Chain A
Amino acid sequence: DTAVSQTPKYLVTQMGNDKSIKCEQNLGHDTMYWYKQDSKKFLKIMFSYNNKELIINETVPNRFSPKSPDKAHLNLHINSLELGDSAVYFCASSQELNLNTGELFFGEGSRLTVL
């Protein structure tokens, strides 16, 4: 049973389109994250939510809108896709907001290709 699951795993779309990526965790964790991994494997945090409340918004363009309907789900909607949005998007979760005792559990990633 997958702890952090993301759908879809692969997404190919045209510039200007709108797309969503869904994430669910069954670990009972309070905190969820979106990370972006670029073509050079560099990982950068985008957002974090704790119990459905936005905690971190890391200067991400407004075209990216996260939504957390409950603490087990964190979805990412992207409007007006651009070529530079092509990347692998990772969802992650942690038991609590403070990471000094916990760890991040990552999903397998969603590879977005914008043509």
Chain B
Amino acid sequence: AQSVTQLGSHVSVSEGALVLLRCNYSSSVPPYLFWYVQYPNQGLQLLLKYTSAATLVKGINGFEAEFKKSETSFHLTKPSAHMSDAAEYFCAVSDRGYNKLIFGAGTRLAVHP
């Protein structure tokens, strides 16, 4: 069955520091993987997605993620955190039929001065 595990429900970084949010997946078919961000009291918006093209995927707001099949990982990174990056981040994998997304439990990113 398809699933994702996000390691760390809370991550705290200093402004300007590297952001690393971890996601491991399990999939019985070639996976399509996504990162979404949720700002307070808002819906989710897509940061980036992997759909079997380049393994290094660049998204909005300076985020990127690398698909590593050997490690079944799709970690999200950003070289330098901004205060505005504080939000909840969700990793997701498509199901076997590619017609729904299965979300991880989310990681709350806090950025402090």
Residues of A whose CB lies within 8 Å of any CB of B are 4, 31, 33, 40-45, 48, 55-56, 90, 92, 97-101, 103-104, 106-109
Which residues of chain A come closer than 8 Å to B32, judged between CB atoms?
99-100
| A109 engages B43 (CB within 8 Å) | yes
Q: Are A100 and B45 in contact (CB under 8 A)?
A: no
Flag if B46 contacts A103 (CB, 8 Å).
Answer: yes
How many residue pairs between the two chains, A and B, have CB atoms under 8 Å in the bound complex? 60
Q: Kindly identify which residue among A40, A44, A55, A108 contacts B99, using a CB–CB cutoff of 8 Å.
A: A55
Chain B contact residues, majority secondary structure: strand
**CA gap between A59 and B88 in the complex, in Å:** 27
Contact: B34 with A103, CB < 8 Å? yes
How far in angstroms is the closest Cβ of chain B from A68?
16
Q: Would A48 and B99 be within 8 Å (CB), given that A40-B105, A99-B94, A100-B32 are in contact?
A: yes
Question: What are the 3 A-B residue pairs with the smallest beta carbon separation, nearest first?
Answer: A106-B43, A43-B103, A106-B44
- Tell me the complex Cα distance, A97–B103, Å: 17
B90 within 8 A of A: yes
A104 touches B88 (CB 8 A): no
B82: Cβ under 8 A from any A Cβ: no
Does B101 have its Cβ within 8 Å of any Cβ on chain A?
A: yes
Q: Is the CB–CB distance between A104 and B101 below 8 Å?
A: yes
Query: How far, in whole Å, are A112 and B108 apart by their CA atoms in the complex?
Result: 22
Write the nearest CB–CB distance from B29 to chain A, whole angstroms.
11
Q: Which residue of B lies closest to A40 (CB)?
A: B105
How far is B46's CA from A4's CA once the two chains are assembled, in angstroms? 14
- Whether A90 touches B43, Cβ cut-off 8 Å, given contacts A43-B90, A101-B51, is yes
